[in-house]
Structure 1
Amino acid sequence: MKKMDLTEFNKIGFPDVTKCEALFDGFRDGLFQAEYSPNCKRSIKIQLDIKPESGGGFEQRFFHLGHPGDGAANSRLMIELRSKTDGFWYLDVYYSNGEKGQALIDENRLYPHGQWYTLEIDVTEKGISGYIDGKIECRSEEVPFRPLPFPGLSLGVRQNQVSWYKGGLRNLSIGEVNER
Protein backbone atom coordinates (compact mmCIF):
# COMPACT_ATOMS: atom_id res chain seq x y z
CA MET A 1 0.00 0.00 0.00
CA LYS A 2 1.24 3.46 -0.89
CA LYS A 3 0.46 6.12 1.68
CA MET A 4 -0.53 9.29 -0.18
CA ASP A 5 1.08 12.63 0.72
CA LEU A 6 -1.83 15.07 0.52
CA THR A 7 0.51 18.08 0.26
CA GLU A 8 1.49 16.83 -3.23
CA PHE A 9 -2.04 17.47 -4.56
CA ASN A 10 -3.15 20.65 -6.34
CA LYS A 11 -5.70 22.62 -4.32
CA ILE A 12 -9.01 24.09 -5.34
CA GLY A 13 -10.41 26.50 -2.79
CA PHE A 14 -8.74 26.55 0.60
CA PRO A 15 -8.74 23.05 2.11
CA ASP A 16 -6.69 22.76 5.30
CA VAL A 17 -4.04 20.19 4.29
CA THR A 18 -1.19 18.38 6.04
CA LYS A 19 0.82 15.42 4.78
CA CYS A 20 -1.81 12.89 5.90
CA GLU A 21 -5.01 14.89 6.59
CA ALA A 22 -7.30 17.34 4.79
CA LEU A 23 -10.37 19.28 5.90
CA PHE A 24 -12.95 20.32 3.28
CA ASP A 25 -15.64 23.00 3.62
CA GLY A 26 -18.29 21.28 1.47
CA PHE A 27 -18.57 24.17 -1.01
CA ARG A 28 -15.33 24.80 -2.91
CA ASP A 29 -12.46 22.78 -1.36
CA GLY A 30 -10.84 19.94 -3.27
CA LEU A 31 -7.53 18.24 -4.01
CA PHE A 32 -6.50 17.01 -7.47
CA GLN A 33 -3.73 15.00 -9.13
CA ALA A 34 -4.55 15.00 -12.83
CA GLU A 35 -1.84 12.51 -13.80
CA TYR A 36 -2.10 10.10 -10.85
CA SER A 37 -2.40 6.43 -11.78
CA PRO A 38 -2.33 3.69 -9.12
CA ASN A 39 -0.55 1.17 -11.39
CA CYS A 40 -2.66 -1.67 -9.97
CA LYS A 41 -2.78 -4.62 -12.38
CA ARG A 42 -4.75 -7.35 -10.52
CA SER A 43 -6.84 -5.48 -7.95
CA ILE A 44 -7.12 -2.22 -6.06
CA LYS A 45 -7.52 -1.42 -2.37
CA ILE A 46 -8.37 2.02 -1.04
CA GLN A 47 -8.00 2.70 2.69
CA LEU A 48 -8.80 6.01 4.34
CA ASP A 49 -10.43 7.60 7.34
CA ILE A 50 -13.29 10.06 6.96
CA LYS A 51 -15.10 12.34 9.38
CA PRO A 52 -18.26 13.64 7.70
CA GLU A 53 -19.71 16.83 9.16
CA SER A 54 -23.29 18.10 9.16
CA GLY A 55 -24.27 20.95 6.88
CA GLY A 56 -22.94 19.70 3.54
CA GLY A 57 -24.92 18.66 0.49
CA PHE A 58 -26.85 15.40 0.25
CA GLU A 59 -24.51 13.82 -2.33
CA GLN A 60 -20.83 14.19 -1.34
CA ARG A 61 -17.97 12.59 -3.27
CA PHE A 62 -14.71 12.48 -1.38
CA PHE A 63 -12.75 10.06 -3.63
CA HIS A 64 -12.81 9.90 -7.45
CA LEU A 65 -10.20 7.84 -9.30
CA GLY A 66 -10.13 7.43 -13.07
CA HIS A 67 -12.27 8.89 -15.83
CA PRO A 68 -14.16 12.10 -14.99
CA GLY A 69 -17.16 11.26 -17.22
CA ASP A 70 -20.41 9.40 -16.59
CA GLY A 71 -21.49 6.03 -17.94
CA ALA A 72 -20.19 2.48 -17.53
CA ALA A 73 -17.79 2.87 -20.48
CA ASN A 74 -15.79 5.37 -18.42
CA SER A 75 -13.60 3.36 -16.01
CA ARG A 76 -13.57 4.86 -12.53
CA LEU A 77 -13.92 4.24 -8.81
CA MET A 78 -15.86 6.73 -6.69
CA ILE A 79 -16.47 6.69 -2.96
CA GLU A 80 -19.07 9.05 -1.63
CA LEU A 81 -21.69 9.45 1.03
CA ARG A 82 -25.26 10.56 1.24
CA SER A 83 -25.71 13.07 4.03
CA LYS A 84 -29.13 13.19 5.65
CA THR A 85 -30.53 16.25 7.40
CA ASP A 86 -31.02 14.29 10.64
CA GLY A 87 -27.26 14.09 11.31
CA PHE A 88 -26.60 10.69 9.71
CA TRP A 89 -24.97 9.48 6.50
CA TYR A 90 -24.66 6.29 4.47
CA LEU A 91 -21.98 5.00 2.10
CA ASP A 92 -22.18 4.94 -1.69
CA VAL A 93 -19.46 3.19 -3.74
CA TYR A 94 -19.43 3.16 -7.53
CA TYR A 95 -17.06 1.18 -9.74
CA SER A 96 -16.97 0.84 -13.52
CA ASN A 97 -14.46 -1.42 -15.25
CA GLY A 98 -15.09 0.12 -18.68
CA GLU A 99 -17.72 -2.43 -19.70
CA LYS A 100 -20.05 -2.51 -16.73
CA GLY A 101 -20.63 -0.32 -13.70
CA GLN A 102 -22.35 -0.77 -10.38
CA ALA A 103 -23.28 1.35 -7.37
CA LEU A 104 -23.27 -0.24 -3.93
CA ILE A 105 -25.52 1.64 -1.53
CA ASP A 106 -27.76 0.78 1.43
CA GLU A 107 -29.66 3.77 2.79
CA ASN A 108 -30.62 1.78 5.91
CA ARG A 109 -27.02 1.47 7.15
CA LEU A 110 -26.64 4.84 8.86
CA TYR A 111 -23.72 6.43 10.71
CA PRO A 112 -23.67 9.67 12.74
CA HIS A 113 -21.78 12.74 11.51
CA GLY A 114 -18.84 14.12 13.50
CA GLN A 115 -16.94 10.86 14.10
CA TRP A 116 -13.94 9.27 12.38
CA TYR A 117 -14.58 6.10 10.37
CA THR A 118 -12.06 3.83 8.63
CA LEU A 119 -13.12 2.81 5.12
CA GLU A 120 -11.67 0.08 2.96
CA ILE A 121 -12.78 -0.56 -0.60
CA ASP A 122 -11.44 -3.65 -2.39
CA VAL A 123 -11.99 -4.40 -6.06
CA THR A 124 -10.74 -7.80 -7.28
CA GLU A 125 -11.57 -10.26 -10.06
CA LYS A 126 -14.33 -11.45 -7.68
CA GLY A 127 -15.99 -8.02 -7.47
CA ILE A 128 -16.29 -5.12 -5.02
CA SER A 129 -16.27 -5.16 -1.21
CA GLY A 130 -16.65 -2.17 1.09
CA TYR A 131 -15.91 -2.04 4.81
CA ILE A 132 -16.52 0.54 7.52
CA ASP A 133 -14.44 0.11 10.68
CA GLY A 134 -13.53 -3.44 9.59
CA LYS A 135 -17.13 -4.63 9.12
CA ILE A 136 -18.51 -5.51 5.71
CA GLU A 137 -20.78 -2.74 4.46
CA CYS A 138 -21.42 -3.73 0.86
CA ARG A 139 -20.40 -6.46 -1.58
CA SER A 140 -21.10 -7.41 -5.17
CA GLU A 141 -19.71 -9.95 -7.61
CA GLU A 142 -21.24 -8.21 -10.63
CA VAL A 143 -18.27 -6.11 -11.81
CA PRO A 144 -14.76 -7.65 -11.73
CA PHE A 145 -11.59 -5.56 -11.53
CA ARG A 146 -9.84 -4.29 -14.62
CA PRO A 147 -6.96 -1.79 -14.49
CA LEU A 148 -8.11 1.82 -14.73
CA PRO A 149 -6.75 3.14 -18.05
CA PHE A 150 -7.37 6.84 -17.29
CA PRO A 151 -5.26 8.83 -14.84
CA GLY A 152 -6.69 11.29 -12.37
CA LEU A 153 -7.57 11.45 -8.69
CA SER A 154 -9.65 13.97 -6.80
CA LEU A 155 -10.37 14.18 -3.09
CA GLY A 156 -13.17 16.19 -1.50
CA VAL A 157 -15.09 16.51 -4.76
CA ARG A 158 -15.83 14.75 -8.00
CA GLN A 159 -13.32 15.51 -10.78
CA ASN A 160 -15.84 17.70 -12.63
CA GLN A 161 -16.17 19.80 -9.45
CA VAL A 162 -19.65 18.81 -8.32
CA SER A 163 -20.77 16.99 -5.15
CA TRP A 164 -18.42 18.71 -2.67
CA TYR A 165 -17.53 16.92 0.60
CA LYS A 166 -17.77 18.55 4.04
CA GLY A 167 -15.51 16.98 6.64
CA GLY A 168 -12.13 15.43 7.25
CA LEU A 169 -10.15 12.84 5.30
CA ARG A 170 -6.90 11.27 6.51
CA ASN A 171 -4.51 8.33 6.11
CA LEU A 172 -5.23 7.63 2.44
CA SER A 173 -3.45 4.56 1.07
CA ILE A 174 -3.82 2.93 -2.35
CA GLY A 175 -2.44 -0.42 -3.50
CA GLU A 176 -3.20 -4.01 -4.48
CA VAL A 177 -5.63 -6.03 -2.35
CA ASN A 178 -3.06 -8.75 -1.60
CA GLU A 179 -0.49 -6.26 -0.25
CA ARG A 180 -0.20 -6.28 3.54
Structure 2
Amino acid sequence: MTLNRRAVLAAPLGLAACASLPVAPTANQTADQIVWTFDRLSAIGGETTQVEGAPQVIASPFGPAVQFDGVDDALFIDRHPLAGASTFTFEAAFRPDGGAFEQRWFHLQSDEAPGGPGTRIMFEIRVVEGGWYLDAFVKGEGYNKPLIDETKLHPLGQWAHVAQTFDGTTYRAFVNGVVQSEAEIAFKPQGPGRASVGTRINRVNYFNGAVREARFTRRALTPGQFTSPLR
Protein backbone atom coordinates (compact mmCIF):
# COMPACT_ATOMS: atom_id res chain seq x y z
CA MET A 1 0.00 0.00 0.00
CA THR A 2 1.26 3.49 -0.82
CA LEU A 3 1.11 6.15 1.87
CA ASN A 4 1.06 9.82 0.94
CA ARG A 5 3.20 11.92 3.28
CA ARG A 6 3.04 15.68 3.33
CA ALA A 7 3.59 18.31 5.99
CA VAL A 8 0.38 20.00 7.02
CA LEU A 9 -0.71 22.66 9.48
CA ALA A 10 -3.06 21.42 12.17
CA ALA A 11 -5.44 24.37 12.46
CA PRO A 12 -6.24 26.02 14.72
CA LEU A 13 -3.57 24.72 17.11
CA GLY A 14 -0.66 25.69 14.88
CA LEU A 15 0.96 22.28 15.27
CA ALA A 16 3.16 21.00 12.46
CA ALA A 17 1.74 17.69 11.35
CA CYS A 18 2.56 15.03 8.83
CA ALA A 19 -0.49 13.41 7.25
CA SER A 20 0.05 9.76 6.40
CA LEU A 21 -3.33 8.83 5.00
CA PRO A 22 -3.81 5.83 2.72
CA VAL A 23 -4.58 7.03 -0.75
CA ALA A 24 -6.87 5.20 -3.17
CA PRO A 25 -8.99 6.54 -6.01
CA THR A 26 -11.74 8.46 -4.31
CA ALA A 27 -15.25 7.20 -4.88
CA ASN A 28 -18.64 8.74 -4.55
CA GLN A 29 -21.20 7.13 -2.31
CA THR A 30 -22.26 3.80 -3.78
CA ALA A 31 -24.93 1.23 -3.05
CA ASP A 32 -22.73 -0.45 -0.44
CA GLN A 33 -20.95 2.64 0.93
CA ILE A 34 -22.15 5.65 2.91
CA VAL A 35 -19.94 8.75 3.22
CA TRP A 36 -20.28 11.31 6.01
CA THR A 37 -18.24 14.47 5.39
CA PHE A 38 -17.88 16.69 8.43
CA ASP A 39 -17.83 20.02 6.60
CA ARG A 40 -20.83 21.42 8.49
CA LEU A 41 -22.75 20.92 11.71
CA SER A 42 -26.12 20.04 10.18
CA ALA A 43 -27.25 17.40 7.70
CA ILE A 44 -24.10 15.25 7.89
CA GLY A 45 -24.35 12.79 5.02
CA GLY A 46 -27.88 14.07 4.49
CA GLU A 47 -28.85 12.98 8.01
CA THR A 48 -30.41 15.22 10.66
CA THR A 49 -27.98 16.14 13.43
CA GLN A 50 -28.39 17.27 17.02
CA VAL A 51 -25.59 19.64 18.03
CA GLU A 52 -24.48 19.93 21.66
CA GLY A 53 -21.83 22.22 23.11
CA ALA A 54 -20.11 24.40 20.54
CA PRO A 55 -18.23 22.28 17.97
CA GLN A 56 -16.61 24.42 15.29
CA VAL A 57 -16.14 24.03 11.54
CA ILE A 58 -12.44 24.60 10.87
CA ALA A 59 -10.07 24.48 7.91
CA SER A 60 -8.04 21.31 7.39
CA PRO A 61 -5.61 20.26 4.65
CA PHE A 62 -8.45 18.18 3.17
CA GLY A 63 -11.28 20.70 3.37
CA PRO A 64 -13.55 21.76 6.23
CA ALA A 65 -13.65 19.58 9.35
CA VAL A 66 -15.45 19.69 12.68
CA GLN A 67 -13.44 20.37 15.83
CA PHE A 68 -14.51 19.15 19.29
CA ASP A 69 -13.25 20.68 22.55
CA GLY A 70 -13.06 17.54 24.70
CA VAL A 71 -15.50 19.02 27.24
CA ASP A 72 -19.08 19.00 25.95
CA ASP A 73 -18.98 19.23 22.14
CA ALA A 74 -20.85 16.50 20.27
CA LEU A 75 -22.97 15.64 17.26
CA PHE A 76 -25.78 13.08 17.45
CA ILE A 77 -27.09 11.53 14.22
CA ASP A 78 -30.27 9.47 13.93
CA ARG A 79 -28.80 6.58 11.96
CA HIS A 80 -26.65 3.49 12.46
CA PRO A 81 -25.08 3.37 8.98
CA LEU A 82 -23.90 -0.25 9.30
CA ALA A 83 -27.21 -1.67 10.52
CA GLY A 84 -27.91 -5.00 8.81
CA ALA A 85 -24.36 -5.44 7.49
CA SER A 86 -22.88 -8.93 7.92
CA THR A 87 -19.43 -7.73 6.83
CA PHE A 88 -18.18 -4.16 7.02
CA THR A 89 -15.50 -1.50 6.87
CA PHE A 90 -15.76 1.57 9.09
CA GLU A 91 -13.20 4.28 8.20
CA ALA A 92 -12.57 7.75 9.56
CA ALA A 93 -10.09 10.59 9.11
CA PHE A 94 -9.46 12.49 12.32
CA ARG A 95 -6.91 14.52 14.29
CA PRO A 96 -6.55 13.81 18.03
CA ASP A 97 -5.14 16.78 19.94
CA GLY A 98 -4.50 15.36 23.40
CA GLY A 99 -6.54 15.67 26.57
CA ALA A 100 -8.14 12.99 28.71
CA PHE A 101 -6.87 9.41 28.67
CA GLU A 102 -10.14 7.81 27.50
CA GLN A 103 -11.88 9.39 24.50
CA ARG A 104 -14.80 7.58 22.85
CA TRP A 105 -15.16 9.69 19.77
CA PHE A 106 -17.32 7.74 17.27
CA HIS A 107 -20.16 5.53 18.47
CA LEU A 108 -22.67 3.54 16.41
CA GLN A 109 -25.44 2.16 18.65
CA SER A 110 -28.38 -0.14 17.92
CA ASP A 111 -31.75 0.66 19.49
CA GLU A 112 -32.64 -2.09 21.96
CA ALA A 113 -35.11 -2.91 24.67
CA PRO A 114 -33.88 -2.39 28.24
CA GLY A 115 -31.52 -5.16 29.26
CA GLY A 116 -30.18 -5.73 25.75
CA PRO A 117 -26.48 -6.42 25.14
CA GLY A 118 -25.64 -2.81 24.29
CA THR A 119 -25.01 -3.56 20.62
CA ARG A 120 -22.51 -1.09 19.18
CA ILE A 121 -19.43 -0.37 17.08
CA MET A 122 -16.99 2.24 18.34
CA PHE A 123 -13.79 4.11 17.67
CA GLU A 124 -11.95 5.17 20.80
CA ILE A 125 -8.47 6.40 21.62
CA ARG A 126 -6.28 6.33 24.69
CA VAL A 127 -4.05 9.36 25.17
CA VAL A 128 -0.76 8.73 26.96
CA GLU A 129 2.59 10.40 27.29
CA GLY A 130 4.08 10.37 23.82
CA GLY A 131 0.89 10.03 21.78
CA TRP A 132 -2.27 7.97 21.42
CA TYR A 133 -3.24 4.41 20.59
CA LEU A 134 -6.40 3.07 18.98
CA ASP A 135 -9.19 1.19 20.68
CA ALA A 136 -11.67 -0.26 18.18
CA PHE A 137 -14.61 -1.99 19.81
CA VAL A 138 -17.59 -4.07 18.74
CA LYS A 139 -20.27 -5.61 20.93
CA GLY A 140 -23.52 -7.49 20.38
CA GLU A 141 -25.27 -10.75 21.10
CA GLY A 142 -22.54 -13.39 21.37
CA TYR A 143 -19.56 -11.07 20.80
CA ASN A 144 -17.73 -8.42 22.79
CA LYS A 145 -14.28 -7.48 21.51
CA PRO A 146 -11.92 -4.53 21.91
CA LEU A 147 -8.92 -4.34 19.58
CA ILE A 148 -6.06 -2.57 21.36
CA ASP A 149 -2.29 -2.60 21.16
CA GLU A 150 -0.96 0.02 23.58
CA THR A 151 2.57 -0.37 22.19
CA LYS A 152 1.51 1.10 18.83
CA LEU A 153 1.61 4.82 19.55
CA HIS A 154 0.81 7.61 17.11
CA PRO A 155 1.55 11.34 17.39
CA LEU A 156 -0.94 13.89 18.62
CA GLY A 157 -1.82 16.91 16.50
CA GLN A 158 -1.54 14.97 13.25
CA TRP A 159 -4.24 13.76 10.88
CA ALA A 160 -4.66 10.01 10.72
CA HIS A 161 -6.82 7.47 8.93
CA VAL A 162 -8.33 4.70 11.05
CA ALA A 163 -10.37 1.71 9.96
CA GLN A 164 -11.98 -1.38 11.38
CA THR A 165 -13.15 -4.30 9.25
CA PHE A 166 -14.97 -7.59 9.60
CA ASP A 167 -14.67 -10.09 6.73
CA GLY A 168 -17.02 -12.77 8.03
CA THR A 169 -14.44 -14.31 10.32
CA THR A 170 -11.82 -11.82 11.49
CA TYR A 171 -12.22 -8.38 13.05
CA ARG A 172 -9.28 -6.03 12.38
CA ALA A 173 -8.25 -2.49 13.32
CA PHE A 174 -5.91 -0.26 11.31
CA VAL A 175 -4.13 3.08 11.63
CA ASN A 176 -2.87 4.58 8.37
CA GLY A 177 -3.40 1.24 6.68
CA VAL A 178 -1.31 -0.76 9.18
CA VAL A 179 -2.97 -3.50 11.27
CA GLN A 180 -3.00 -2.66 14.97
CA SER A 181 -4.78 -5.78 16.25
CA GLU A 182 -7.11 -8.54 15.06
CA ALA A 183 -9.27 -11.36 16.40
CA GLU A 184 -11.84 -13.90 15.24
CA ILE A 185 -15.35 -13.05 16.46
CA ALA A 186 -18.87 -14.42 16.03
CA PHE A 187 -20.26 -11.14 14.71
CA LYS A 188 -23.96 -10.77 13.98
CA PRO A 189 -25.49 -7.90 12.00
CA GLN A 190 -26.58 -5.01 14.17
CA GLY A 191 -29.99 -3.40 14.21
CA PRO A 192 -31.06 0.15 13.30
CA GLY A 193 -30.06 2.89 15.71
CA ARG A 194 -28.11 6.10 15.95
CA ALA A 195 -24.62 7.56 16.16
CA SER A 196 -22.65 10.05 18.21
CA VAL A 197 -19.47 11.86 17.19
CA GLY A 198 -17.25 13.62 19.71
CA THR A 199 -18.49 11.59 22.67
CA ARG A 200 -19.87 8.24 23.69
CA ILE A 201 -23.61 8.15 23.08
CA ASN A 202 -24.33 8.52 26.82
CA ARG A 203 -22.29 11.75 26.89
CA VAL A 204 -19.07 10.65 28.57
CA ASN A 205 -15.43 10.46 27.44
CA TYR A 206 -15.52 13.50 25.14
CA PHE A 207 -13.07 13.90 22.24
CA ASN A 208 -10.49 16.66 21.91
CA GLY A 209 -9.65 17.03 18.24
CA ALA A 210 -11.19 17.17 14.78
CA VAL A 211 -13.01 14.83 12.39
CA ARG A 212 -13.06 15.27 8.62
CA GLU A 213 -14.80 12.21 7.18
CA ALA A 214 -16.24 8.76 7.85
CA ARG A 215 -17.04 5.96 5.39
CA PHE A 216 -19.20 2.92 6.01
CA THR A 217 -18.91 0.03 3.55
CA ARG A 218 -20.91 -3.21 3.63
CA ARG A 219 -17.93 -5.39 2.84
CA ALA A 220 -14.43 -5.82 4.21
CA LEU A 221 -11.96 -3.67 2.32
CA THR A 222 -8.22 -4.28 2.22
CA PRO A 223 -5.83 -1.44 3.12
CA GLY A 224 -5.21 -0.82 -0.57
CA GLN A 225 -8.94 -0.19 -1.01
CA PHE A 226 -9.30 2.24 1.90
CA THR A 227 -10.38 5.75 0.95
CA SER A 228 -9.52 9.06 2.55
CA PRO A 229 -10.54 12.71 2.23
CA LEU A 230 -7.23 13.51 0.56
CA ARG A 231 -7.98 15.03 -2.85
If the TM-score is normalised by the length of the shorter chain, which range does it land in? 0.7 to 0.9
Residue 42, structure 1, aligned to residue 42, structure 2: no
Query: Secondary structure of the residue that 1:112 maps to in structure 2?
Result: coil
Sort the Cα spacing of 1:66 and 1:48 in 2 relative to 1 into closer, same or farther, 3 A: same
Q: What CA distance in whole angstroms lies between the structure 2 residues aligned with 1:75 and 1:124?
A: 18
Residue 128, structure 1, aligned to residue 171, structure 2: yes
Residue 158, structure 1, aligned to residue 158, structure 2: no
Residue 31, structure 1, aligned to residue 79, structure 2: no
Give the equivalent residue in structure 2 for 1:15: 55
Q: What CA distance in whole angstroms lies between the structure 2 residues aligned with 1:20 and 1:145?
A: 35
Which residue of 87, 107, 119 corresponds with 2:162?
119
Which residue of 74, 77, 80 corresponds with 2:118?
74
Which residue of 103, 110, 114 corresponds with 1:60?
103
Q: CA deviation at 1:139?
A: 0.6
Specify every segment of 5 or more residues in structure 1 that has no aligned partner in the other structure, as ranges. Answer: none
1:82-101 to 2 correspondence within 5 Å?
82-84=126-128, 86-101=129-144
Q: Which amino acid aligns with 1:14?
A: A
Q: CA deviation at 1:107?
A: 1.1
Q: What CA distance in whole angstroms lies between the structure 2 residues aligned with 1:139 and 1:162?
A: 26
Give the equivalent residue in structure 1 for 2:16: none
Query: Is the CA contact (8 Å cut-off) linking 1:75 and 1:150 kept in structure 2?
Result: no
Q: CA deviation at 1:68?
A: 8.0
Give the equivalent residue in structure 1 for 2:219: 177
Q: CA deviation at 1:96?
A: 1.0
Q: Which has the higher contact order (CA 8 A, sep 6+)?
A: 1
Q: Which amino acid aligns with 2:194?
A: G
Aligned-pair Cα RMSD in Å: 2.3
Count of paired positions: 176
Q: What CA distance in whole angstroms lies between the structure 1 residues aligned with 2:176 and 2:50?
A: 29
Q: What CA distance in whole angstroms lies between the structure 1 residues aligned with 2:116 and 2:151?
A: 26
Give the equivalent residue in structure 2 for 1:137: 180
Deviation digits for residues 133-173 of structure 1 (CA, Å, limit 9, x no counterpart): 111111111x2332111401011100000000000111211
Q: Give the structure with higher Rg (CA).
A: 2
Q: What CA distance in whole angstroms lies between the structure 2 residues aligned with 1:49 and 1:2?
A: 14
Query: Is the CA contact (8 Å cut-off) linking 2:105 and 2:199 kept in structure 1?
Result: yes
Query: Is the CA contact (8 Å cut-off) linking 2:83 and 2:192 kept in structure 1?
Result: no
Sort the Cα spacing of 1:2 and 1:72 in 2 relative to 1 into closer, same or farther, 3 A: same
**TM score, norm. by length of structure 1:** 0.87
Query: Secondary structure of the residue that 1:152 maps to in structure 2?
Result: strand
Give the equivalent residue in structure 2 for 1:146: 188
Q: What CA distance in whole angstroms lies between the structure 2 residues aligned with 1:27 and 1:52?
A: 14
Query: Is the CA contact (8 Å cut-off) linking 1:122 and 1:128 kept in structure 2?
Result: yes
